Amino acid sequence: MKISNIIFLFASTILMAIPAGYEPGHFAKVLFAGALVQSFAFSSIILFFTHRNLTAKRIIISLIYILFCLETFLFIRFGSRLDPNMLTLALQTNVKEISEFFSVYLVTPFTLVFIIIIISFYILLYKSLTITAEWNCRRKYINACILSGTIIGIALPFLPIGVPVGRNSLNELGMSVRFVTERHSDIKKMIDGIDQIYITESPDKEDAPIIVLVIGESFNKQHSSLYGYYLPTSPNLQKELDDGNLFFFTKAMSPTNGTDFAMRYIFSLKGCEKTDSNDIHSALLMPAIFKKAGYKVAYFDNQYTRSSGGSLDFSCGYFLNPVQIHNQCFDYRNEKTDRYDGDFISKYRNDFLYEPKSLNIIHLKGQHFDAALRYPEHFGLFKANDIDQQTLNEKQKQQVAHYDNATLYNDHVLKSIIDNFRDKNAIIIYFSDHGEQIYDEPSHYFGRGFDTIHKEETIKAVYEVPFMIWCSTEYINRHEDVVKIIQDIKDCEICTADVAYLLFDIADIDFNYNIKSKSLIDNLFIPHNVIINQEF
């Protein structure tokens, strides 16, 4: 047997199996062992069909190596493999976000060294496949070993003895692709779900308020002076609080750390509790219920506009884009985004709905990485020397300063939204889809890790989110009872996945699938523990 074939067999087996050992916990070694046997079976089958074709072997080993390097980089940098969440994020990424990703995560000394190492190993591996020398061993013994390993590897997951098998790189990729594909099949359920909605109560137009739902992005509330941060990053919101128009919640949590899953929670009626996959609430869309109740609905998104990608659309709003859903959810959607949220609001303020019985939904870029790109230069108030964290170096302090400037700018953007509705019978609900880690805690982590949800610092920075309600003076005068309830429950633990039920209560809408106990302002409201790190 050629030594080059043995190298191919050994290398492909190891490269596919190692990522299975990245799984968290002491169980990883066992998972790696199982994945190793299964990877050997895969490699043997591949080798059987390609042992005489050098080009095919080089292409296959190159793909396996790329997959290994990708999984390794994701694990080192984000604590995650190429799982469904990561694959979804990759599919949602546009050209602008790719350039930002490269500038933040790839143009670093560590990454450059990492790239040099993997290229060097790849060159050695690529050249080793041209070795023509034979291994002096009886061929029948080699074939017997390969055949035995292949049979065991294929049979391993089906053995009744409960052998744990870790997902090698091919298994992980296949599972992720299947998961993302299956999620798109939910669209039919959503289309059918709209027909199952029956409105049982809806207010007269003159009595209904203007409701504005603003969804922030990557907002770590520990960097808001409203929540006690030492720099004045939220002066406008503080003034609204002092004037008695703003109420902020101290224990709001998102069930997820990804925008994609967060948007599904926000726009549907699914809660963070684990429910049966056939639960109708996951297919019911909040804007469609408002439309059926006679409300006008407008959606302004500064990250994702309506795509014509069809089944290839993996944006965070992909489930809202099919014609059957779009037409029954919205009266208006924007077609363009802008670099800065403030410019976006200025561009579309004339398209906001200002009549009673209307719902405006606004999705901002917020403090999405790279935070340095999220605010105009004249909002660069904070510098590295303003950051009082002695354990950080100058570059890290500057990153924190950029984030704080983006938070200051976000405060300005929220004020500009409020100003449009200040003289109306209006109520604005604002919260962030998730947070971000900004070197706040002992681990000095920056960004969003995907393997540390059990750590208190990650929960505080990523899953605990700012949540606030602003009421115009006219709304306060008309709805003193609602305002009193908001004041009383602002320290209750709440889940952002339940926001739709709050909106229904504010809008005086009732329907056949409503769950009143999930509305913060309903007398039947039942606070519940938020289950975090939930995929939809």
pLDDT (tens digit, 9 = 90+) per residue, 18-67?
Answer: 888 776 554 456 667 778 878 888 888 888 888 788 899 899 999 999 99
Backbone angles phi, psi at 452, to 5 degrees: -125, 30
Q: What is the pLDDT of residue 49?
A: 81
Closest C-alpha to 429, from 202, 216, 206, 208? 216
Q: Does any domain span residue 524?
A: no
Q: Does any domain span residue 462?
A: yes
State which of 131, 156, 180 marks the end of a domain.
Answer: 180
pLDDT in tens, 345-383: 999 999 999 999 999 999 999 999 889 999 999 999 999
Closest C-alpha to 257, from 535, 530, 24, 444? 535
Cα 378 vs. chain centroid, distance in angstroms? Answer: 30
Residue 96 confidence (pLDDT) above 80 = no
Q: Does any domain span residue 526?
A: no
pLDDT classification of 296: cutoffs 50, 70, 90: very high
| Distances from the Cα of 183 to the Cα of 94, 100, 324, 381, angstroms | 20, 27, 17, 43
Q: Does any domain span residue 128?
A: yes
Give mean pLDDT, residues 340-344.
97
Residue 37 and residue 134 in one domain: yes
State which of 180, 213, 233 marks the end of a domain.
Answer: 180
Contacts of 226 by beta carbon, 8 Å cutoff, 6+ apart: 234, 237, 238, 241, 248, 466, 468
Residue 175 and residue 194 in one domain: no
∠ Cα 213 469 194 (to 5°): 35
More confident residue, 436 or 95: 436
Backbone angles phi, psi at 210, to 5 degrees: -90, 125
Is residue 287 within 8 A of residue 363, CB to CB? The reply is: no
Is residue 453 within 8 A of residue 522, CB to CB? The reply is: no
Residue 195 and residue 167 in one domain: no
Mean pLDDT of the chain: 86
Q: Does any domain span residue 80?
A: yes
Give mean pLDDT, residues 472-498.
94
Residue 138 and residue 233 in one domain: no
Distance separating alpha carbons of residues 364 and 215, to the nearest angstrom: 6
Give 447's strand partners. 437
Closest C-alpha to 430, from 249, 270, 269, 273? 249
Residue 115 and residue 200 in one domain: no
Question: Where in the sequence is the domain holding 101, given as residue range(s)?
Answer: 3-180
Q: Does any domain span residue 530?
A: no
Q: What is the pLDDT of residue 27?
A: 47
Instruction: Give residue 284's identity as a one-letter amino acid code.
Output: L
Residue 431 confidence (pLDDT) above 60 = yes
Residue 221 and residue 261 in one domain: yes
Residue 135 and residue 46 in one domain: yes
Q: What is the pLDDT of residue 92?
A: 62
Q: Residue 52, exposed/middle/buried by CB under 10 A (0-12, 13-18, 19+)?
A: exposed
Distance separating alpha carbons of residues 489 and 519, to the nearest angstrom: 11
Q: Residue 106, exposed/middle/buried by CB under 10 A (0-12, 13-18, 19+)?
A: middle
Total domains, the chain: 2
For tokens 């229904």, the residue is 504
Residue 467 and residue 323 in one domain: yes
3-state secondary structure of 467: strand
Residue 235 and residue 110 in one domain: no
Strands 467-471 and 426-432: antiparallel
| pTM tops 0.85, yes or no | no
Q: Does any domain span residue 369?
A: yes
pLDDT in tens, 143-166: 556 666 666 556 555 554 445 566
Q: Does any domain span residue 504?
A: yes
Residue 434 and residue 294 in one domain: yes
Is residue 448 within 8 A of residue 479, CB to CB? The reply is: no
Residue 315 confidence (pLDDT) above 90 = no
State which of 148, 180, 212 marks the end of a domain.
Answer: 180
Query: What CATH number did the domain enclosing 318 receive?
Result: 3.40.720.10
Residue 220 and residue 164 in one domain: no
Residue 329 and residue 387 in one domain: yes
